[in-house]
Every structure is written in C-alpha cells, then in structure tokens.
Structure 1
Amino acid sequence: MITVETIVNAPIDKVWKFWTTPKNIRKWNNPTDDWHTPYVENDVKVGGEFKYTMGRKDESICFDYEGIYTKLDEFSVIEYKLVDNRTGSVRFEIQDDKIKITEIFEPNPENPENEQKEFCQRVIDNFKKYTEAN
C-alpha cells in the first residue's frame, strides 16, 4: 500500500466540498502545472461512480482514473474500488482548526511505487495549496 498525507488549514466542510465537487477537482487534481484534469464525473455516494480524466496539457500522457465508492462517512472517510479492482481510502481527521488528509491505495503494477507515491503526494499537496488559497 502507498500512503500520502497533508494537513490543510481550512474547515472540514470546505475541505470536503473541494475534495468532492467536480468544479473544484478540475482545479487541483494535478501534480504539476503542466498537467490538468479536463473531465470529472463524481457521484459521491456508496455505489456512486467517479471518473477523472487526467493528462499532460501537451497530450503526451492521458488516462482515466475511475471506480466506485464502497464506503462514505461525510467529513470522515471515503473508500473506493478502482475499475482494475485495486482499493483505496481517504481519511479526513480534524486536528484543532486544521484537517489531516491521509490517502492510502494499492499501487498499480505497471509503474514504480516511488513514482506513484511522488505523483499522488504532489496532487494532494496541490489540493492543500488550492484549498487554502480559495
């Protein structure tokens, strides 16, 4: 399993909203400025499906990140299963006036784990930056 985390200086309702709404996901869901997420579908409920199309802006790399939600506790936990049967979770922990976000997921077998961890850490760090600035 791979684990990435960050601490966001924002209230839980804002963190949850920015994590789950398509218009916000499109703004933060990228590891660097040369990436983007032009398409987002997100039905936030148990059994609901999600699909994010991510890629480099120069179109040299593009992929869909998609799956189904298997557990949801608003403001607390999201668990999911990807279309390739890998699983993951995102936990939101209130720490005073900040929110600790921990994402744990099964790595894909095609890419080195350290690259996957670095990619996802940059994405979650970008979420922090976006949420705190907006």
Structure 2
Amino acid sequence: MIHKHIMKWNQASEDWHTVRASNNLTVGGQLLSRMEAKDGSMGFDFGGTYTAIIPLSRIDYILDDGREVSVIFSENYDSTTVTQTFDPEATNPVAFRQAGWQAILDSFANYTEKL
C-alpha cells in the first residue's frame, strides 16, 4: 500500500492524523506509523511485523508489544467485509480500544470508497 494513502485514512477521529507511515506487506515485513493529535498534545508510534498473508483473504501481524492482530477480508456480491480481531492493550478499557479500532476501519472504508 502506498504510504501516502495510509496517512490519509489512518486516524480514529478528525483531531488525530498519521504524520508518517511505512508498510512492507510481506511475511516478516514491518508496518510502522506515527499517530499524533493535530494540536500536538500527544502522539504514539504504532508498529508490528506481518506473520501471515493470504492475498485477498487474510493478514495477520504481531504488534511490537506482542499483541496479535488478524484481518479477514470476505468478498460479498458487490462489497468486501473486513473483520479485524486484536488483543487489546491493558491500559485502556476494551470498549475504548474497540471503538478506536472501529473508527480507523470506518475511516479506511470512507477513504477507499472515494477512490
């Protein structure tokens, strides 16, 4: 995926943005992004390593902190359903993390539907 595209959709809300991203979509390859609040008040690095890739079907990766993520793509007649499962981090409530990941998926859907 072209990094400039990731930077356009990878945010959970309008007051956040991705300021840099890299993505090597191969088994053993790394994904890295830097997300920051637009007001500069906070930010964090997000990274992981791809562990399995089945083209047009599934992507698995392990985050730098050891949590696992799986993304499954299910083709429908005229659309694709994306199902993402992840190990939540322990700092924030699960519902908060789930809402954040869902918001990023929604942003991805909105962006790709306009391409």
**Same amino acid, percent of matched pairs:** 37
- Does 2:37 align with 1:60? no
Q: d(CA) in 1 for partners of 2:58 and 2:50?
A: 11
Secondary structure of 2:36's counterpart equals strand
Equivalent AA in structure 2 for residue 110 of structure 1? T
Residue 91 in structure 1 maps to residue 76 in structure 2: no
Alignment partners' CA distance in 1, 2:52 and 2:2: 17
Paired residues, number: 115
AA aligned opposite 2:99: E
Q: Pick from 8, 23, 30: which aligns with 1:42?
A: 23
Structure 1 spans left out of the alignment, 5+ residues? 1-19
- Residue 84 of structure 2 is matched in structure 1 by 103
Tell me if 1:22 matches 2:11: no
- Cα RMSD between the aligned structures? 0.9
Once residues 128 and 35 of structure 1 are traced to their aligned partners in structure 2, the CA distance between those partners, rounded to angstroms, is 17
CA distance in 1, matches of 2:98, 2:107: 14
Consecutive unaligned residues in structure 2, runs of 5 or more: none
Provide the secondary structure at the position in 1 that maps to 2:107.
helix
More helix by share: 1
What is the distance in 2 between the residues matched to 1:22 and 1:102? 22
Normalised by the length of structure 1, the TM-score is 0.83
The 3-state SS of whatever aligns with 1:129 is helix
Higher RCO by CA contacts (8 Å cutoff, separation 6 or greater): 1
- Where 2:33 maps in the other structure, the secondary structure is strand
Cα distance per residue 1:49-97 (max 9 Å; x no partner): 1111112111112011101000001111100001111101111110011
DSSP-derived class of the 2:82 partner? strand
Runs of 4+ in structure 1 over 2 Å off:
none
